[in-house]
C-alpha cells in the first residue's frame, strides 16, 4: 500500500514525440463482503404464501463497499428490506430478508446474487424450498342416498373423508341436519396428513314415511373449512308387527335341586303378522319348549310355550330369553326366574319292644324294597338296643322292615311282623 508515480510515453512521427503522461495512484486495502447464513432452505411452504428468512451482511475489509444490485435466478425467491445502492463502511453490517413465495407445488431452487461496485464477482446464496398445496378435504361418496327404509328401522352407510392437499388438515367438529339422520364413528379432533383418510357412519332411521333430505358437515382448517355432504332418504310406511311375551317375567318358583319345575307363558303378535325364528336362553338351567321354529303368528294370534327350570344348585336364578323375529321391536325379551331348593334328606327311625326270651344279646334289622321280594340284613353289627336308624333310603321308594332277636348261643329268632315305611318323593 502507498503512493505510486509513473510515466506513460507515446512515440509517433509527430514533432512532439514522444508524448509523456504523468501517472500517480494510491493503493488501499479492498473491502470484503460476507453473508450469514450462506444458503437458505425453506422447506415446505404453502403455494401462494410468503416465508421470510433473515440474512446478515458484513464488510470485514478496510474500505467501504457498495451493493448496487440484488438478483434471483428463480421468480419464487426474492428479497426485502434492502435499499439499493447500499454502502457498508469497514466493519459495518446490515440485515435483510430473503423470501420464498411458491406459485406452484413442487421443489424450487435458485441463486440470490449481490453485485458490488467495482467488483466483477458477486456474492451468491443458494436457495431451495418446496411449494405445497394447502390441505383440502374430499368426501367419497360425494353424497349419500338411503332408499326404501321401513319406518322404525334403520340403514347405515359408510363415508370416507380424505385429505387431497399437500399439508395436514385437522377436523375439529362434525354435525348433521335433516330428520332421521345421525353421524357416528368420528372422534374429533382428528388430524389427517396429506393423502390420509378417515371413515365414519351415517345412519338413516325414519320415524314416519316420506322423503327426507339433510347434510353432514365436516369442519376443519383445510382450504374448504366446511365440507358439506348432501343426504337423502326415503321411508316406507309398510306395516310391521309387534311381538310381546306374557308375562314379561316368568317365575317358575321353588324347585328342588336335581328335579325340574315348569311354567307356561305366551307369545303375542299385534299389528301385523310376525314370524318367530328362534329363542336363546342365558342359562342351561332354563329351557323353552312347546314351539316349533319358525312359527308365524297372525295379528292378534298367540302361542303358548313352556319354561322348564332344572336347578343344579340352590339359590335364586334369573336369566333372559330372547325371541328373534321379524317384528318391529325384535328381539322380544322375557326374564326367567326360579329358586333352587336343596333336596331334603330322609331317614327311617325304627324301634321295637325288647324280646322276653332269655339270654338275648342283640337284634338284626332286615329291609325289603317294595311289597315283594327278599329281606336283606342292613345292620353291619348286632344292634344291642331296641332302635335303629336307616339313612340309606331313596326318595319316592316304599320299604318294609323286620327284626330278629339273637341270644348268647348265636341263635336267631323268627322275624317280627314287617312294618312299612313310605319315603316322600323329591
Classified by CATH at the fold level, domain 242-341 comes out as Immunoglobulin-like (2.60.40)
Residue 156: pLDDT band with limits 50, 70, 90 = very high
What lies within 8 Å, CB to CB, of 66 at 6+ separation is 85, 86, 87, 88, 116, 117, 118
How does the average pLDDT of the chain come out, rounded? 92
Classified by CATH at the fold level, domain 348-422 comes out as Immunoglobulin-like (2.60.40)
Structural domain boundaries of the chain?
33-132, 137-236, 242-341, 348-422
The answer to whether residue 16 scores a pLDDT higher than 80 is no
The answer to whether residue 190 scores a pLDDT higher than 90 is yes
- Is CATH 2.40.128.20 what the domain over 137-236 is classified as, yes or no? no
All three cell numbers of 143:
353424497
pTM above 0.85, yes or no: no
33-132: CATH, from 2.60.40.10, 1.10.260.40, 1.10.510.10, 3.40.50.720? 2.60.40.10
pLDDT (tens digit per residue) in 330-383: 999 999 999 999 888 899 999 999 999 999 999 999 999 999 999 999 999 999
Q: What is the pLDDT, as a whole number, of residue 107?
A: 95
pLDDT (tens digit per residue) in 29-43: 345 999 999 999 999
The answer to whether residue 226 scores a pLDDT higher than 60 is yes
Least confident of 186-200, 227-241, 284-298: 227-241
Read off the pLDDT of each residue in 95-116 and give the average, rounded to a whole number.
96
The answer to whether residue 426 scores a pLDDT higher than 80 is no
pLDDT (tens digit per residue) in 297-342: 999 999 999 999 999 999 999 999 999 998 888 999 999 999 999 8
The answer to whether residue 193 scores a pLDDT higher than 60 is yes
Domains 33-132 and 348-422 are alike in CATH topology: yes
The answer to whether residue 72 scores a pLDDT higher than 80 is yes
Q: What is the pLDDT, as a whole number, of residue 149?
A: 86
Angle at 105 between CA 100 and CA 111, to 5 degrees: 35
Amino acid at each position: 500500500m502507498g503512493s505510486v508515480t509513473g510515466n506513460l510515453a507515446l512515440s509517433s512521427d509527430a514533432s512532439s514525440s514522444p508524448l509523456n503522461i504523468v501517472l500517480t495512484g494510491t493503493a488501499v486495502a479492498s473491502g470484503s463482503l460476507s453473508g450469514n447464513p450462506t444458503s437458505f432452505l425453506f422447506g415446505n411452504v404453502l403455494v401462494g404464501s410468503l416465508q421470510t428468512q433473515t440474512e446478515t451482511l458484513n464488510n470485514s475489509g478496510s474500505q467501504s463497499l457498495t451493493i448496487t444490485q440484488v438478483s434471483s435466478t428463480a421468480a419464487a425467491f426474492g428479497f426485502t428490506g434492502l435499499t439499493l445502492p447500499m454502502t457498508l463502511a469497514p466493519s459495518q453490517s446490515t440485515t435483510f430478508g430473503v423470501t420464498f413465495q411458491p406459485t406452484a407445488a413442487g421443489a424450487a431452487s435458485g441463486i440470490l446474487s449481490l453485485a458490488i461496485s467495482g467488483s466483477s464477482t458477486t456474492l451468491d446464496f443458494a436457495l431451495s424450498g418446496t411449494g405445497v398445496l394447502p390441505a383440502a378435504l374430499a368426501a367419497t361418496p360425494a353424497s349419500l342416498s338411503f332408499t326404501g327404509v321401513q319406518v322404525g328401522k334403520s340403514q347405515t352407510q359408510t363415508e370416507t373423508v380424505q385429505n387431497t392437499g399437500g399439508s395436514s388438515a385437522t377436523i375439529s367438529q362434525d354435525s348433521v341436519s335433516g330428520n332421521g339422520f345421525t353421524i357416528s364413528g368420528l372422534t374429533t379432533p382428528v388430524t389427517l396428513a396429506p393423502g390420509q383418510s378417515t371413515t365414519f357412519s351415517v345412519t338413516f332411521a325414519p320415524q314416519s314415511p316420506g322423503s327426507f333430505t339433510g347434510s353432514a358437515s365436516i369442519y376443519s382448517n383445510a382450504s374448504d373449512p366446511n365440507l358439506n355432504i348432501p343426504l337423502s332418504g326415503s321411508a316406507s310406511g309398510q306395516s310391521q308387527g309387534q311381538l310381546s311375551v306374557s308375562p314379561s317375567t316368568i317365575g317358575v318358583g321353588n324347585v328342588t335341586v336335581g328335579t325340574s319345575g315348569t311354567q307356561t307363558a305366551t307369545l303375542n303378535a299385534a299389528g301385523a303378522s310376525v314370524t318367530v325364528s328362534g329363542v336363546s336362553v342365558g342359562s342351561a338351567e332354563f329351557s323353552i319348549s312347546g314351539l316349533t321354529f319358525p312359527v308365524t303368528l297372525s295379528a292378534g294370534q298367540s302361542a303358548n310355550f313352556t319354561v322348564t327350570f332344572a336347578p343344579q344348585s340352590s339359590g335364586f336364578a334369573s336369566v333372559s330369553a330372547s325371541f328373534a323375529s321379524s317384528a318391529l321391536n325384535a328381539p322380544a325379551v322375557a326374564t326367567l326366574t326360579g329358586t333352587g331348593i336343596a333336596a331334603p334328606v330322609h331317614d327311617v327311625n325304627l324301634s321295637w319292644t325288647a324280646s322276653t326270651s332269655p339270654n338275648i344279646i342283640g337284634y338284626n334289622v332286615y329291609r325289603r324294597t317294595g311289597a315283594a321280594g327278599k329281606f336283606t340284613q342292613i345292620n353291619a353289627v348286632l344292634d344291642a338296643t331296641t332302635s335303629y336308624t336307616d339313612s340309606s333310603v331313596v326318595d319316592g321308594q316304599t320299604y318294609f322292615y323286620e327284626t330278629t332277636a339273637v341270644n348268647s348261643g348265636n341263635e336267631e329268632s323268627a322275624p317280627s311282623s314287617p312294618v312299612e315305611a313310605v319315603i316322600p318323593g323329591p
